[in-house]
Chain A
Amino acid sequence: MQLLHARRAVDAVFDEANLVSCAGLVPMMGLAEQVDLAGLVAAQVRPDLSTGSNPGGKAAAIVAGMATGAESIDDLNVPRHGG
């Protein structure tokens, strides 16, 4: 039998390093995947340096970052680390 029914203090901690906080990316990148964003980029962009390898995936990652508000290269850490 419970004696006290008052709510106890609750702590919410968001510290899972492997989670992306921008959940809105899920449907958006789902659509991007549906229309094959990465494939379209890979078909058109022809890198001539090793740094340009896998342009499709990187462009998709940049799109995701920009969708979360990234305005610089450093901001593109958002989809990796969470906002």
Chain B
Amino acid sequence: MTALFGGVYAASTLGSFLRFFTWGHALQLEAAARDLLIALAAATPLLPGPAGAEEVGAVEVAAVAVGAAGGARVDVAHRVLDVFEGRAAFPGGGGEGVAQRVRGQPPGGAQAGRGGHPAEADEDVGFGEPARVAVGAGGGEQRPGELSHGDARAGSAGGDVVVEVGAGRASDLAGIGVPTASAGASRWLTLPAVVATTALRRSSSP
């Protein structure tokens, strides 16, 4: 036996596979899920749109509870209210649009938003209007995972869905093959929604 095999172990089951997961493995699986979403978006062109549909889509900046930087004066209720939910789904019709809403300015004041770039409070974007989302304009000063907090803005811009990314983030995105174009000091992305969402999330992963 030992002459033939170096070792033997029983075939592992799905249960043992699931139980072996640590937090780090869960993050790895999340990364795989992002890759999968990109692949699915490429394989199934579900988002309708006019010509040049690649420049039209939706942007979702995931809801994130921002850790308020106001110290002890900021209570739990303020932290809850500081949740940023930026969601945009767009044009070309289709009933799958979701409400877009940015709740930026926390009750604790501007200092409660990390980075000091609070979003405009409670700005609603109507369905069918393009969105313009600025993410991480502060560039590399943000820690990973904080892309989607209060300094992101969604508004009606009369153009395509545009994602503005700080210089540090833009290089991250370029690193994973997301095209970027320089526009002055900041860089602009024009992406399909799903990819934009995924890319933003991906760039925020450690």
Residues on A lying within 8 angstroms of B by beta carbon are 31, 34-37, 40-41, 43-47, 49-53, 55, 58-59, 61-62, 65, 73, 76
Contact B32 A34 (CB under 8 A): no
Q: Give the distance to chain B from A53, nearest Cβ to Cβ, in Å.
A: 6
Complex CA distance for A37 and B39, rounded to whole angstroms: 9
The docked-state distance in angstroms from the alpha carbon of A40 to that of B28 is: 10
Decide yes or no whether B77 CB sits under 8 A from chain A. no
Of all chain B residues, the one with the shortest Cβ separation from A70 is: B14
Q: Are B9 and A35 in contact (CB under 8 A)?
A: no
Chain A contacts for B25, CB-based, 8 A: 45-47, 52
Residues of B bordering A, CB below 8 Å: 9, 12, 14-21, 25, 28-29, 31-32, 35-36, 39-40, 42-44
**Are the CB atoms of B32 and A43 closer together than 8 Å?**
yes
For this complex, 13 residue pairs linking A to B, each with C-beta atoms less than 8 Å apart, are A35-B40, A35-B43, A36-B39, A40-B32, A44-B31, A47-B25, A49-B20, A51-B17, A51-B20, A55-B17, A58-B12, A58-B17, A62-B14
Say yes or no: B36 contacts A46, CB within 8 Å: no
Contact A45 B29 (CB under 8 A): yes
Q: Is the interface of B mostly helix, strand, loop or mixed?
A: helix
Total inter-chain residue pairs, C-beta < 8 Å: 62
Additional A-B contact list (8), CB under 8 Å, known A34-B43, A37-B36, A62-B18: A41-B29, A44-B35, A49-B20, A52-B17, A55-B17, A61-B14, A62-B17, A76-B14
CA distance A53 to B35 in the complex (A): 20
Report whether over half of chain A's contact residues are helix, strand or loop; otherwise say mixed. Answer: helix
Bound-state CA distance A59–B28 (Å) is 12
Contacts of B36 in A (CB 8 A): 35, 37, 40
B9 closest partner in A (C-beta):
A50
Alpha-carbon gap, A49 to B10, bound state (A): 12
Q: Are B15 and A50 in contact (CB under 8 A)?
A: no
Nearest B residue to A55 by beta-carbon distance?
Answer: B17
Q: Is B39 within 8 A of A59, CB to CB?
A: no
C-alpha spacing A40/B9, complex, angstroms: 25
A50 vs B15: C-alpha distance when bound (angstroms): 13
- A65 neighbours in B (Cβ, 8 Å): 14
Q: Are B43 and A31 in contact (CB under 8 A)?
A: yes
Task: Name the CB-closest residue of A to B25.
Answer: A45
**Contact across chains for A35 and B29 when beta carbons are under 8 A apart:** no
Q: How far is the CB of A62 from chain B (nearest CB, A)?
A: 6
Interchain CB contact under 8 A, A45 and B28:
yes
Given A44-B28, A44-B31, A73-B14, A51:B19 Cβ within 8 A: yes
